[in-house]
Structure 1
């Protein structure tokens, strides 16, 4: 078993530094396919979050009982079990949204981000870090998914939170906001628009990371001239 990293680092990696959608570029198929509206994105995001959290915790609990020869099949079976639970829950409580998302709910089983975290992290760490990693990775993926859905719905249809009653029930029927009544950019509604919007989000993250790195370098105290010369030449006077 590897030493577990600090929980703060796990949170930063899952939400930002190692975000599965913006850094690892995993799970792009559902990310691009169902993010045409906020409600679609949120439905898939919640299902993926549930599967990530549950599978990471389960894999961590059985990590000492699974032999290397059956590790991957066992992990896939665990993930498939949690996907089935998420699918049944959505079919029971949000059937219309379940029909809209269609095949992309069962396809969570093939999401590389979930299997990757189970193999690379959960199978080597205790339950608490593994569950935290699953939660933060799921929230990172969900955040990008919902943000992408908001961008595409807002600039593609001019609305926000359209159809939220499909997920949250009749109480959310009046949540729809018409921000741009006459805006209808078909490009953003279609799959090419999803690629374009995702590229913009990745570029924005890179810009933010670059500015943060420059600020850290600017705050770092300057090294004395004599110490710099010693490090370069390797001699001490």
Structure 2
């Protein structure tokens, strides 16, 4: 891995962790009374449907909805890069090209394609320490860890994946001592077991959550719920 890439990894996504701590502190007392349930990365989780603390997440979803409704044009700068997707039409064409694949291959294609986007820190991109971008904004200007996760999350939603099977997850990278964000996707095995898989902009392939030891989840979220993770 090039030294420049390593530097970017070390500096990445600190704002994600700050948001995570704020959100955990805002967990409703009622939700805390629920019994923690087993979760990925050897944690337990407590579920809440109170998303008010997650203003950046809700804002990104709202802007995404409006951009789709208005068919807002996307001006890519400095260009589509290796991801080679610029604008809603090209995004939809890519999704159509993988629609007929089995679910695991859909995950692989989405993960591989979106990981080709150029990594850009929020401070350089938006002048903010932490900005959660829509797919349209990501196609136009790329982004950092949570933006890859959001792009993958909404791509899968557009492909018809159930929201209950998808979560954007804020984690602590225990090796690098920084915040990071990934997408966790649940797939159901023939046995009926729900297996969490990880789509990560730092990992080239889709892997089982059980194969990763250096992530400690703080919270996970989708459009309906969020979960506090307990070590």
Q: Which category describes the TM-score, using the shorter chain as reference length?
A: under 0.3
**Structure 1 length as normaliser, TM-score?**
0.26
Which one has a larger percent strand, Structure 1 or Structure 2?
2
Instruction: Give the TM-score taking structure 2 as reference length.
Output: 0.27
Considering fraction of residues, name the structure with more helix: 1
Q: Which structure is larger by alpha-carbon Rg, 1 or 2?
A: 1
